[in-house]
Every structure is written in structure tokens, then in C-alpha cells.
């Protein structure tokens, strides 16, 4: 197995995660996302309509897969194995750089009833994916054709709040937002989110610049489940963040550069993404990661079939193929984020490869049951809620 720090992938992967998280609530991202309001909200498809659609579809022998950079092994081994097993040829295109940018470019075509030219797309749970579902731009999946997903996906990845019963999406990869801290400077075991608000770490705390990320952690800090939160909860959380900022506890609101600041000791603890910390741990840097007792955030990158896709059956076959544990393990070795297939852990542990074993033993790649129990998603917002939400939390980092 190749170490990503040695093969030069780290910077690309870091940039990708940064773009993904920040795009959702950046000014440019919001402007692009606003295109979605031009469409009309679609009625949820009836089971009979879904069945009728799939009854008319057939395997065509080709599939076009649109994904993010650095999200497939360089040799495209899993895709080659799919082609060998099914006879379906593939095109793999790394064309998604930001959720908002991709949505902004895709929405006018989808609204006009024009195909995107892709049979599978990958989008993160959040504002843009919610709009794709609400506006009827995704094809409802036929789960009878997804036996590997049914058998091998972890319980946490079935029936998510942003897509009940996985009607339109199944996960590609996932990750966790928790707390990273430098053990050279922080001598206690960090277990609580309140450490990010503790005056004894004045000027040594990093928070993320993304509104959704800071909102979730502030809601955890005041005892609120983000999925069930109200405007009153947001205001309470916003006040908690304002106090943290105004008292000088926060050194800076970071993009991806937070991980360098923690590793160098410019800050001692920070909100953090699990994949970033794992890669630093492989490099031997003194950085630990914890899901705080009050809660952490799980984000999921999801495969979906866009409306008008030319090869939906072939797309379903490829989506399901990736849920074979051996194939999912190959992806995990390269990508080094959280896999939605728990069976991958035993496969990696059995390999005669120290890096594979390190992956298998890391709770950053395979969260514990206790960690999963503490993880929550981002709040799914209506258009009206989005305006209020942004007004509260963007004012923290931009004020």
C-alpha cells in the first residue's frame, strides 16, 4: 500500500475537502446554489412510478461516472474489475471540484430536461444535494438491484436523515468532524467539546470557517441535536460562539490550513476532519483526534443517478459493485477516509502490510460504536431557514 504522504496526494485531497466544506456557505457557493430556486419542487415519486420506470430500463453495456479528484486508485483497479466482471465499459471523469459549482452548472440543464452526460454523480450531504432531491433532479433507486449495499453497508449509512431509506443516494465515502489536539502542548486527554471554549486555551483554539461546521459544534456545546434544531437553538449556539470569539479563545477561523497550525503548535486544539489527522499520524506527528462526548459531525459523499442518465441500470450495477467488501477495501487503502462497508476492517487487518493494518486499527477510518452513537449530520434547511441560519453563523466568522 502506498502512503499518501509519499505519493504526493495529500495536498490534492486536502484542497478537495476544503472546497467541499467551504463551498456550501461561501458567497460564491450561495450564489451558484441559488440557481436551484428557479426550479419547481417535485412531488416525491410514488412506489408504482419508480417500479414502472425501472421496468422499462435495460443494461446498455456502458456507464459514465463523475467524481471528485483523488477519489479512485490511480490504476482504476476497482473500475477495471467491474468491467471484467460485467462486460460494461466505463468512462471515469474527475469533474466535480465543489458541490456548489457542480450544482450551479448542472441545474440549468436538469431544469431544461437535458441530460448531464453522466450516469453517476457524487455529492455531499448538505444544501446542494438537498436541492437536487427536492427539485426532482435525481432518479429514485431500485433497491432490488442493490443487493451488495443491502448486505454490506453499515447501519449508520442506511436511512440517513437527508435521504430517508436511501431513496436517491447510497454513500461513496464518509468522514468525521471532531477535535484534533497537539499532545506536545495539551497534556490532558481532551474528551469534551467544552475544551474548545475553555479560557485556559485562550488564543490556542482553532475553529472552522464553514458555517455548518461551527454551527453543529456550538449546538453540541449547548446540548442541542442539530438535526432537530430550531431558530431559537441557532441563536443560543450563535451566542456561545460569539462569546468564544470575543473572549479571545479562538485564534482564527480556518480553512484546511488548520491541520498545519495544530501540527506546528500555532494552535493546540481545533475542530478537525478525521482523514487529515490520520494522515498526520501516519507521518508521526503528535496529533490526536477525538469525537467529543457531546457529539461530532458525520458527513457523507453520496452516489446518485441524475435525471436523464442514459445508462441507469449500468449505473446501479457499478454502484452496487463498489459494496463488495474486497472492492471497498481497495478504495479505502487509497482514499483513507471512512468506508461505509464495515467488513473492510477485517480484510485490511488480515493483510501482511503495516499500512493496511494501521488503517484497520484506526478509529479515524473505522469509528467505534460509541463514536457512531455520538455522530450527527448537518441540519437540512429550507430556503427560508437557510437565510436565517447563515445570518447567525456567518456573522461569527465574518464579523
pLDDT at 98 (0 to 100): 84
E strand or H helix that includes residue 343? none
Q: What structural domains does the chain harbor?
A: 56-174+300-365 (3.40.190.10), 175-298+376-398 (3.40.190.10)
Q: What is the distance between the alpha carbons of residues 314 and 301, in angstroms, rounded to a whole number?
A: 20
Taking only the tens place, the pLDDT of each residue in 58-67 is 999 999 999 9
pLDDT band at 210 (very low <50, low <70, confident <90, very high): confident
DSSP classification of residue 45: P
pLDDT exceeds cutoff 70 at 123: yes
161-203, pLDDT tens digit by residue? Answer: 899 999 999 999 999 999 999 999 999 999 999 999 999 999 9
Residue 340 has pLDDT above 80, yes or no: yes
Take residue 175 and report the three cell numbers written for it: 468522514
pLDDT band at 255 (very low <50, low <70, confident <90, very high): confident
What rounded mean pLDDT belongs to the chain? 90
Is residue 206 within 8 A of residue 397, CB to CB? The reply is no
> What cell numbers appear for 13 in the block?
485531497
Are 340 and 173 contacting, i.e. CB atoms less than 8 angstroms apart?
Answer: yes
Alpha helices of the chain — where are they, by DSSP H? Answer: 4-7, 10-23, 27-33, 47-55, 77-86, 99-111, 127-134, 147-152, 211-221, 231-246, 258-264, 274-282, 312-321, 325-335, 344-349, 354-361, 369-374, 383-398
19 near 97, Cβ under 8 Å? Answer: yes
Q: Is 48 exposed, middle or buried (0-12, 13-18, 19+ CB in 10 A)?
A: exposed
Average pLDDT for 266-283: 93
Q: What is the pLDDT of residue 282?
A: 87
pLDDT value for 26:
43
Amino acid at each position: 500500500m502506498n502512503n499518501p504522504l509519499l505519493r504526493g496526494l495529500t495536498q490534492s485531497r486536502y484542497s478537495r475537502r476544503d472546497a467541499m466544506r467551504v463551498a456550501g456557505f461561501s458567497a460564491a457557493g450561495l450564489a451558484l446554489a441559488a440557481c436551484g430556486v428557479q426550479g419547481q419542487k417535485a412531488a416525491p415519486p410514488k412506489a408504482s412510478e419508480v417500479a414502472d420506470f425501472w421496468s422499462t430500463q435495460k443494461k446498455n453495456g456502458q456507464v459514465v461516472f463523475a467524481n471528485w479528484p483523488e477519489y479512485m486508485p490511480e490504476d482504476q483497479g476497482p473500475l477495471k474489475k467491474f468491467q471484467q466482471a460485467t462486460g460494461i465499459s466505463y468512462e471515469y471523469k474527475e469533474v466535480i471540484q465543489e458541490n456548489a459549482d457542480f450544482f450551479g452548472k448542472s441545474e440549468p440543464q436538469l431544469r431544461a430536461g437535458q441530460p448531464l452526460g453522466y450516469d453517476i454523480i457524487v455529492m455531499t450531504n448538505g444544501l446542494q444535494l438537498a436541492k437536487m432531491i427536492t427539485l426532482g433532479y435525481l432518479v429514485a433507486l431500485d433497491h432490488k438491484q442493490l443487493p451488495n449495499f443491502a448486505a454490506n453497508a453499515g447501519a449508520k449509512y442506511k436511512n440517513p436523515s437527508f435521504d430517508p431509506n436511501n431513496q436517491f443516494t447510497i454513500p461513496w465515502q464518509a468522514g468525521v468532524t471532531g477535535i484534533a489536539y497537539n499532545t506536545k502542548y495539551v497534556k490532558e486527554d481532551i474528551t469534551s467539546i467544552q475544551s474548545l471554549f475553555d479560557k485556559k486555551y485562550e488564543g490556542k483554539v482553532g475553529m472552522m470557517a464553514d458555517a455548518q461546521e461551527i454551527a453543529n459544534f456550538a449546538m453540541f456545546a449547548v446540548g442541542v441535536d442539530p438535526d432537530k434544531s430550531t431558530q431559537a437553538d441557532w441563536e443560543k449556539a450563535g451566542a456561545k460562539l460569539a462569546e468564544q470569539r470575543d473572549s479571545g479563545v479562538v485564534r482564527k477561523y480556518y480553512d484546511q490550513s488548520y491541520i498545519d497550525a495544530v501540527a506546528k503548535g500555532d494552535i493546540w486544539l481545533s475542530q478537525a476532519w478525521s482523514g487529515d489527522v490520520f494522515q498526520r499520524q501516519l507521518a508521526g506527528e503528535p496529533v490526536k483526534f477525538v469525537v467529543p462526548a457531546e457529539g461530532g459531525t458525520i458527513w457523507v459523499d453520496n452516489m446518485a443517478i441524475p435525471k436523464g442518465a442514459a445508462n441507469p441500470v449500468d449505473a446501479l450495477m457499478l454502484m452496487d459493485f463498489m459494496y463488495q467488501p474486497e472492492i471497498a477495501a481497495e478504495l479505502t487503502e487509497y482514499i483513507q477516509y471512512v468506508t461505509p462497508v464495515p467488513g473492510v476492517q477485517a480484510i485490511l487487518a488480515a493483510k501482511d502490510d503495516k499500512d493496511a493494518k494501521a488503517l484497520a486499527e484506526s478509529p479515524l477510518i473505522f469509528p467505534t460504536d460509541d463514536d457512531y452513537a455520538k455522530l450527527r449530520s448537518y441540519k437540512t434547511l429550507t430556503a427560508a431557514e437557510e437565510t436565517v441560519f447563515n445570518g447567525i453563523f456567518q456573522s461569527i466568522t465574518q464579523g
